[in-house]
Every structure is written in structure tokens, then in C-alpha cells.
């Protein structure tokens, strides 16, 4: 049986693998989990002994098929719990991550099945992240990109938002930036701020900018945590 910490590591490696095709560096895992690199090295050795990860010296770590299945199961628990907490226990989307982190290791498969059934088998959690299917099939790559990578004038729709920072989520909620929100990139400043129109249309006309639209300036790291897709693709 795996410990909670082992499952946390597998989930972290999975998340980091989604950001790059390269093996995951131990330093990246350490930063993600807020632990020291030697601690990561020790845990990776244990996971490697259990054939849950493969490690190549000086390159990094990758999940084995078995390791990925474990990570997907933990993610399924986590994201179903986030959906349940928001829909049935009146938690805000900024509060559920920590609760789900605690509970995800301790629910039975029967509890998971009943929660999924109660929620009508949702495909995404409150932050827009895909919920792994019951058969734990690998999650397919989507067509989203970070908001920070978009150009001025582009109209986009928010697909998902990172759930790791409670204060950031509360800020975005207050700004009206949640999954499904339409945004227009108004300005990308050279010093790391991205200004977006919330609920507007892609137009350069000043009068049009003011119709039903509020502008929000986001630090680049916040904009990077927001995944979007083209508003044209969304309509199609």
C-alpha cells in the first residue's frame, strides 16, 4: 500500500509532465511540493523500487504506466471531491483544494462511485480541470494555452485555472474570471502585466471596449496560470 506522501509525489510528477515532454527534474518536484531536493531524491528512489517511476541520471523522472494510473486515480478523487464540496457543501472554488488534498487519499472506491453518480459524472472540476474517467484512461492533451502567451486583440474563453493558490483564486473570482468567461487581451506590457477585457468583444474601437466590459490587469504569473482557448473555436 502506498503512503499519502508517495501518492502526492506521483500526482506532482504527473502535473509537471503535463507542462513538458521532457523528464521531470528533481528540482522542479522540490519546488512544486515545497520540499528539499535531497528529500525528493530519497522518495524517487523508493518510487523507483516500486516500479512507479523511471529515473535517468542527470535528466529526470518519468512515471511508468503503473505510476500514471495511480496518479490518475488520486486526481480523480481530488477533482470529484472539489466538485462535491462546491456543489453540495457550499465551499467556494478557492477553498476546496486544501480540503480535497486531505481527503483524496482516504475515500473508498464505493464512495468515489457514489459521488460521481450524485454529480452525474462531471467531466471537469470547479476550476475547469478534466476529471479522469472511472477507467483511469490517460487524459488527452487539450487545445488550451496560457493566457500569458496570447497576443493583443485576441478573444479567448477561460478553460481552466490553477487551483493551487487560494488567494489568487479569490482574486480571479472577484474579477469575474472563471471557466467559461470570455476575455479579450487588451494590452501585454513589457514589464509583465497582461490587461484583459472581461466580457467584451475583440474590437479596437474605444466605444466598443466600454460596452459590458470591465478591464483587469493581471501579473504575468497569474495570467500564466489561466488556460484559455480561442473564442472562435469555442463557438465552432
* HSE toward the beta carbon, residue 68, CA cutoff 13 A: 15
Among the candidates 31, 63, 95, a domain finishes at 63
pTM exceeds cut of 0.85: yes
The answer on pLDDT for 211 being more than 50 is no
Per-residue pLDDT at 200: 54
The answer on pLDDT for 110 being more than 90 is yes
Give the structural domain span for 202. Answer: 145-235
Indicate the Cα dihedral angle 23, 24, 25, 31, nearest 10°. 170
Per-residue pLDDT at 234: 52
Which of 70-74, 88-92, 181-185, 190-194 has the lowest average pLDDT?
A: 190-194
Region 166-183: what's the mean pLDDT? 94
The enclosing domain of 35 has a CATH number of: 1.10.10.10
Residue 130 maps to a domain: no
Residue 58 maps to a domain: yes
Among the candidates 43, 63, 83, a domain finishes at 63
Residue 95 maps to a domain: no
The answer on pLDDT for 206 being more than 70 is no
Among the candidates 63, 82, 109, a domain finishes at 63
CA–CA separation, 215 and 70 (whole Å):
42
What values do phi and psi take at 157, rounded to 5?
Answer: -125, 135
Over the chain, what HEC string results? CCCHHHHHHHHHHHHHHCCCCCCECHHHHHHHHCCCHHHHHHHHHHHHHCCCEEEECCCEEEECHHHHHHHHHHHHHHHHHHHHHHHHCCCCCCCHHHHHHHHCCCCCHHHHHHHHHHCCCCCECCCCCECCCCCCCCCCCCCCEEHHHCCCCCEEEEEEECCCCHHHHHHHHHCCCCCCCEEEEEEECCCCEEEEEECCCCCCCHHHHCCCCEEEEEEHHHHHCEEEEEHHHHHC
Residue 206 maps to a domain: yes
Region 181-204: what's the mean pLDDT? 83
The enclosing domain of 196 has a CATH number of: 2.30.30.90
Region 210-236: what's the mean pLDDT? 81
Total structural domains within the chain: 2
What percent of the chain is predicted at pLDDT more than 90? 83
- pLDDT, tens digit (0-9, with 9 covering 90-100), for 115-172: 999 999 999 999 999 999 999 999 988 889 999 999 999 999 999 999 989 999 999 9
Residue 82 maps to a domain: no
The answer on pLDDT for 91 being more than 80 is yes
Per-residue pLDDT at 208: 41
Over 106-146, what HEC string results? CCCHHHHHHHHHHCCCCCECCCCCECCCCCCCCCCCCCCEE
Residue 87 maps to a domain: no
The answer on pLDDT for 97 being more than 70 is yes
Please state, rounded to an integer, the average pLDDT across all residues of the chain: 91
Residue 116 maps to a domain: no
Residue 134 maps to a domain: no
Region 197-217: what's the mean pLDDT? 62
Region 45-66: what's the mean pLDDT? 95
Amino acid at each position: 500500500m502506498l503512503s499519502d506522501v508517495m501518492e502526492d509525489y506521483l500526482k506532482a510528477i504527473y502535473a509537471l509532465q503535463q507542462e513538458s515532454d521532457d523528464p521531470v527534474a528533481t528540482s522542479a518536484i522540490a519546488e512544486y511540493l515545497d520540499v528539499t531536493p535531497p528529500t525528493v531524491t530519497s522518495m524517487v528512489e523508493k518510487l523507483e523500487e516500486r516500479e512507479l517511476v523511471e529515473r535517468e541520471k542527470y535528466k529526470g523522472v518519468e512515471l511508468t504506466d503503473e505510476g500514471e494510473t495511480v496518479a490518475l486515480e488520486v486526481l480523480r478523487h481530488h477533482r470529484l471531491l472539489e466538485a462535491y464540496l462546491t456543489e453540495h457543501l457550499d465551499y467556494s472554488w478557492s477553498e476546496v483544494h486544501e480540503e480535497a488534498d486531505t481527503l483524496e487519499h482516504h475515500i473508498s472506491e464505493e464512495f468515489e462511485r457514489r459521488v460521481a453518480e450524485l454529480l452525474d459524472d462531471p467531466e471537469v472540476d470547479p476550476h475547469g480541470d478534466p476529471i479522469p474517467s472511472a477507467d483511469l484512461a490517460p487524459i488527452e492533451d487539450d487545445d488550451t494555452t496560457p493566457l500569458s502567451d496570447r497576443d493583443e486583440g485576441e478573444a479567448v474563453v477561460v478553460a481552466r485555472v490553477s487551483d493551487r493558490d487560494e488567494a489568487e483564486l479569490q482574486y480571479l473570482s472577484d474579477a469575474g474570471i472563471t471557466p467559461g468567461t470570455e476575455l479579450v487581451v487588451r494590452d501585454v506590457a513589457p514589464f509583465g502585466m497582461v490587461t484583459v477585457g472581461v466580457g467584451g468583444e475583440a474590437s479596437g474601437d474605444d466605444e466598443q471596449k466600454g460596452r459590458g466590459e470591465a478591464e483587469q490587469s493581471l501579473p504575468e504569473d497569474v495570467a500564466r496560470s489561466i488556460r484559455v482557448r480561442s473564442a472562435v473555436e469555442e463557438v465552432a
